[in-house]
């Protein structure tokens, strides 16, 4: 028989970066519902405090910490604060990321490259390093990175973003390989089009009706026929965070409604 208690996160401490809204918020609340105490971090404390209040209503401990993961001097104080409060970190969800900025390979500037790479890749890598050192001492843990379907199938005019997410997938594999001897697993999820402010940034410059029409057109190109919701990312994260995935590492779960397996004729 399947032991569903293996999905429980009771007694575990999770850190979710980019946890104030969208996918990060949904993940933070989902981990709390599964039994974890949750630290949420992003740049704006008021937004984090709202999420923390929701976590506490679920009966779990919550700690909001304002930090910019793309700035290296923010990482150690963040991790130190978590350890001072909880004494351990069992789960790290690297969800913080930049909104894809529209621009061509011929026109993008170095500043844009640095902004995206510092948060999507460099910050993720060194946040993972800091937490993995703790997990090694305590005997294990789970690192979960948020990649993107764009890491498999580049989207026009968001090349730097796509490159960064492809790198996240490889970073996940490298972490999995090197950290396996310490019982630290590293996996990723790769969302497709999900209803978030990040997705809405594609149309924020358009009149409301035109934006609505273009969003509906995008949904037609998804094999499942719709744009996903943040809550639909949560189940996979709970699986990867829990003992139910104890033999899973180095994997990336595509959660894109079938976009990456659709034929070119379908997505035109």
Full-model pTM:
0.94
Residue 252 to residue 175: CA distance in whole angstroms: 13
In CATH, 7-194+229-258 is 3.40.50.720: yes
* Burial degree of 155 (CB within 10 A; 0-12, 13-18, 19+): middle
Dist. CA 204–CA 217, nearest whole Å: 16
Catalytic residues: 161
Task: Identify the three-state secondary structure at position 1.
Answer: coil
* Cα separation, 119 vs 198, whole angstroms: 15
Sign of the alpha-carbon torsion through 18, 45, 29, 78: positive
The pLDDT tens digits of the residues spanning 1-33 come to: 678 899 999 999 999 999 999 999 999 999 999
DSSP summary character for residue 195: S
H or E stretch at 114: helix 110-117
Question: What whole-number distance in Å separates Cα of residue 261 and Cα of residue 218?
Answer: 16
Nearest to 255 by CA among 233, 230, 234: 233
Q: What is the pLDDT along the chain (268 residues), one digit of tens a residue?
A: 678 899 999 999 999 999 999 999 999 999 999 999 999 999 999 999 999 999 999 999 999 999 999 999 999 999 999 999 999 999 999 999 987 778 899 999 999 999 999 999 999 999 999 999 999 999 999 999 999 999 999 888 889 999 999 999 999 999 999 999 999 999 999 999 998 777 666 666 667 777 677 778 888 889 999 999 999 999 999 999 999 999 999 999 999 999 999 866 545 4
Angle CA 99–103–104, to nearest 5? 135
**Mean residue pLDDT across the chain:** 93
Q: Which of 235, 30, 26, 188 is nearest to 94 (CA)?
A: 188
């Amino acid at each position: 028989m399947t032991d569903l208690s293996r999905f429980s996160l009771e007694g575990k401490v999770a850190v979710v970066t980019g946890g104030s809204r969208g996918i990060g918020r949904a993940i933070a609340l989902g981990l709390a519902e599964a039994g974890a105490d949750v630290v949420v971090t992003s740049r704006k404390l008021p937004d984090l405090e709202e999420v923390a209040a929701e976590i506490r209503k679920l009966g779990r401990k919550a700690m909001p910490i304002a930090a910019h993961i793309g700035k290296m001097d923010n990482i150690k104080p963040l991790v130190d604060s978590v350890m001072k409060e909880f004494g351990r970190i069992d789960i790290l969800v690297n969800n913080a990321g930049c909104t894809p900025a529209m621009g061509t390979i011929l026109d993008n500037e170095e500043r844009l490259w640095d902004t995206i790479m510092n948060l999507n890749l460099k910050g993720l890598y060194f946040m993972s390093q800091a937490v993995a050192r703790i997990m090694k001492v305590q005997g294990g843990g789970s690192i979960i990175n948020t990649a993107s379907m764009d890491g498999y199938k580049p989207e026009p005019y968001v090349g730097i973003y796509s490159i960064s997410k492809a790198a996240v997938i490889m970073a996940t594999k490298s972490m999995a390989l090197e950290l396996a001897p310490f019982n630290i697993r590293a996996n990723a999820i790769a969302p497709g089009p999900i209803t978030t402010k990040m997705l809405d940034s594609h149309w924020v410059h358009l009149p409301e009706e035109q934006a609505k029409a273009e969003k509906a057109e995008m949904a037609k190109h998804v094999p499942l026929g719709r744009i996903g919701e943040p809550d639909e990312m949560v189940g996979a994260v709970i699986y990867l965070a829990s003992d139910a995935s104890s033999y899973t590492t180095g994997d990336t779960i595509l959660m894109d409604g079938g976009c990456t397996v659709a034929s070119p004729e379908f997505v035109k």
